[in-house]
Chains A and B, each alone.
Chain A
Amino acid sequence: MERRTIVIDPVTRIEGHAKITLHLNEQGRVEDARFHVTQFRGFEKFCEGRPFSEMPALMARICGICPVSHLIASAKACDALLAVRIPPTADKLRRIFGLAQVVQSHALSLFYLSSPDLLLGMDADPAKAHLFGVLEKNSALARDGIRLRQFGQQMIERLGGKRIHPAWVVPGGVSEPLTEKNRDAILSALPEALQIAERTMEWFKGTMEKLREEITSFGNFPTLFMGIVKGDGGLTFYDGKIRIVDASGNVAADGLDPACYADFIGEKVEPWSYLKSTYYKPKGFPEGIYRVGPLARMNVADRCGTPRADQELAEFHELQRTAVLSSFHYHHARLIEILYCVERMEQLLNDPEILSKHVRAFARPNALEGVGAAEAPRGTLFHHYKIDEQGLMRWANLIIATGHNSVAMNRSILQVAKHFVHGDRLTPGMLNRVEAVIRCYDPCLSCSTHAAGQMALQVELLNAGGEVVDAVARP
């Protein structure tokens, strides 16, 4: 048999444009696999010359799924340029805003994109593998998903005035205080959101037994894990220091200042993707492979800090005595985080100062360089800006969650393909598993190709001369 390449194009039920190539040897065994992100946009360059104060609203346009994360990271970089400490209430309001977004983004990932694989199975008819297929089979589950995402989006609208691309987070704080009416409306919606999260957790645990083979082969390998934690080691999405743990679950580095990210994070280009790969500098490339996002946060944080989420975190750690290594468990971690977000929102909204009118610090730029970092739904997000004396942007660097996971995603599709794909008999289910492991990471290709582009999935068979001899395009 000759050497061949399988191309999956586009990768579907992901947030962006990508394709996957699987390289098969003469025996029809998978030798290599690559995840190609095919969109590039150029925010790091075209922001040049614009006033820094425009950045939060502009950078939010990197991503329509997690605009709030970009607003927050960008505004934090701008706070550093102003050299101000924002009012305590603004800090809390930004936190609530971020939590609402994690809920809607995780709901999108779990229900809209991955639930067909979990409910209908990896070998389900591709014509049915979508939210409407889930609706037919388990209407309550699909409706819960729609409702939970709606809940997150409505919270964002109540706080920021608009569901997508609200301009509420600004350099120095937020533009408007929270009204009593909106606070009460959000508080009254929390119990239903918590019930949905609880129901979904139970359902999810029930699916795991049927997916043992996937759990053991979906990105199940040792890596480092990175995330921001609070001073006491607890989970946070807004502010703290960076912690890195190894595959055994031991802390490899702690208390790293996000503003100094360039000291410990390197960025590498792959000539076959617009998505850059990051690595932990002290270990070099590729040994410095690490993962970020829900799985990493559950591995790095000592605790969530809310009762229900902490119960689930304790159970999560029983999955594996070391760090939890299979990327399949990103789904599980996402559900724990939804519980945490709802519980934590309630704590913050009941803060006696939450309705304070002091929500914005005003200043002219007092520093020419600033870094803002936060935990986006998909992992650690960095915005780094340089401005001139007039406050005009001169340079930007953005490191986005999906980029941190690039090396791990490539290794994961290789592991899945080696396990499930056999060159002599291709089936849609085999290829869907290759896509499904990518969905575990919930990559956001729009984001990650801020600088760069989009993802799609395609499978082609190439002969030894590199010519396409067959292509699998699922109808």
Chain B
Amino acid sequence: MSKMRLATVWLDGCSGCHMSFLDIDERLIAVAERADLVYSPLVDAKTFPEEVDITLVEGAVSSEEDLHKIQMVRQHTKILVSLGDCAVTANVPAMRNPFFTAEVYDRAYRENVTFDPGVPDQVVPRLLPFVRPVHEIVPVDVYVPGCPPSADVIFYVVTELLEGRNPELSAKTRFGA
């Protein structure tokens, strides 16, 4: 049987969900025996592959780059998993939503600056006016709440999906877990 193709993507989050994925520790080796990690911050692929079976998405959609990336990822992914509270609800990143983006930028790049103040506008992607959870932008197949979801929950989700089953999570994790 050919290996499944697994990817992980990091939008606006803290990388805690990726770290919790690594917290499955030596079980990483068992996952690697059944799936190839074809795209992830942990491997060197620079472009998202044409066909991916399962993509775990950490983080909310906050910038123009996040927006383009999640649309592209959805197009090339069979099963899209919102991993963690930021992907599921927009969580901490969305705390900037009550403020204008100009205020958020100004604090960092005009007020808390001693030399050359100004908002970066070359090469870097602009922030969207509001941070959104992934499912408001593209359809999501599996939701895994938690800040972050525990390693055991992530291992359960990945192995169930690799077996072709739908993970049942209601008793296993919760928002803020």
Q: Which A residues are closer than 8 A to B by beta carbons?
A: 8-10, 12-17, 19, 21, 34, 36-42, 44-48, 58, 61-65, 67, 108, 112-113, 126-127, 129-132, 135, 143, 146-147, 149-150, 153, 163-165, 266-274, 276, 279, 281, 285, 395, 397, 432, 446, 451-454, 457-458, 473-475
Complex: A281 Cα to B114 Cα, angstroms: 9
User: Is the C-beta of B72 less than 8 angstroms from some C-beta in chain A?
Assistant: no
Q: Which of B16, B37, B123, B147 contacts A132 (CB 8 A)?
A: B37
Whole-angstrom distance between the Cβ of B19 and the nearest chain A Cβ: 5
CB of B44 within 8 A of CB of A12, answer yes
Complex: A13 Cα to B117 Cα, angstroms: 31
Contacts A44-B107, A271-B121, A475-B47 given; does A285 touch B42 at CB 8 Å: no
Complex: A38 Cα to B23 Cα, angstroms: 26
Residue numbers in A under 8 Å from B10 (CB-CB): 17, 454
Mark contacts of B120-133 with chain A using CB atoms, 8 A cut-off: 1 yes-contact digit, 0 otherwise: 11111101000000
Complex: A337 Cα to B92 Cα, angstroms: 32
Smallest CB-CB A-B distances: 7 pairs: A64-B16, A266-B114, A42-B104, A451-B108, A45-B107, A126-B44, A268-B115
Within 65-119 of B, Cβ neighbours of A (below 8 Å) are at 65, 92-93, 95-96, 98-99, 103-105, 107-109, 112-119
Mark contacts of B12-39 with chain A using CB atoms, 8 A cut-off: 1 yes-contact digit, 0 otherwise: 1111111110110110110010000100
Residue numbers in B under 8 Å from A40 (CB-CB): 63, 105, 108, 124, 127
Whole-angstrom distance between the Cβ of A345 and the nearest chain B Cβ: 20
Q: Which of B14, B16, B22, B62 contacts A149 (CB 8 A)?
A: B22
User: Is the C-beta of B137 less than 8 angstroms from some C-beta in chain A?
Assistant: no
Tell me which of B108, B121, B125 has the highest count of chain A C-beta atoms within 10 A of its own C-beta: B108
CB of B104 within 8 A of CB of A165, answer no
CB of A273 within 8 A of CB of B28, answer no
User: Is the C-beta of B139 less than 8 angstroms from some C-beta in chain A?
Assistant: no
Residue numbers in B under 8 Å from A113 (CB-CB): 42
Complex: A8 Cα to B62 Cα, angstroms: 22
Q: Which of A36, A39, A45, A397 contacts B63 (CB 8 A)?
A: A39
Complex: A281 Cα to B37 Cα, angstroms: 45
User: Is the C-beta of B1 less than 8 angstroms from some C-beta in chain A?
Assistant: no
Tell me which of B19, B29, B114, B121 has the highest count of chain A C-beta atoms within 10 A of its own C-beta: B19
Whole-angstrom distance between the Cβ of A232 and the nearest chain B Cβ: 32
Residue numbers in B under 8 Å from A44 (CB-CB): 107-108, 112
CB of A61 within 8 A of CB of B44, answer no
Q: Which B residues are closer than 8 A to A by beta carbons?
A: 10, 12-20, 22-23, 25-26, 28-29, 32, 37, 41-47, 62-63, 65, 92-93, 95-96, 98-99, 103-105, 107-109, 112-125, 127, 147-148, 150-151
Complex: A253 Cα to B76 Cα, angstroms: 55
Whole-angstrom distance between the Cβ of A393 and the nearest chain B Cβ: 12
CB of B124 within 8 A of CB of A274, answer yes
Whole-angstrom distance between the Cβ of A110 and the nearest chain B Cβ: 14
Query: CB-nearest residue of chain B relative to A266?
Result: B114
Query: CB-nearest residue of chain B relative to A38?
Result: B124
Residue numbers in B under 8 Å from A36 (CB-CB): 123-124
CB of B95 within 8 A of CB of A46, answer yes
CB of B120 within 8 A of CB of A146, answer no
CB of A130 within 8 A of CB of B43, answer yes
Q: Which of A14, A270, A451, A475 contacts B45 (CB 8 A)?
A: A475
Tell me which of B20, B46, B65, B98 has the highest count of chain A C-beta atoms within 10 A of its own C-beta: B46
CB of B112 within 8 A of CB of A451, answer yes
Whole-angstrom distance between the Cβ of B30 and the nearest chain A Cβ: 12
Complex: A153 Cα to B121 Cα, angstroms: 38
Contacts A108-B22, A271-B122 given; does A130 touch B96 at CB 8 Å: no
CB of B45 within 8 A of CB of A12, answer yes
Whole-angstrom distance between the Cβ of B159 and the nearest chain A Cβ: 17
Q: What are 28 A-B pairs with beta-carbon distances under 8 A?
A: A16-B15, A36-B124, A38-B125, A40-B127, A42-B96, A45-B107, A46-B104, A61-B16, A63-B14, A64-B15, A67-B14, A113-B42, A126-B44, A129-B44, A135-B29, A146-B29, A164-B23, A266-B115, A269-B109, A271-B121, A273-B123, A274-B120, A276-B113, A279-B115, A451-B112, A454-B12, A458-B46, A474-B47
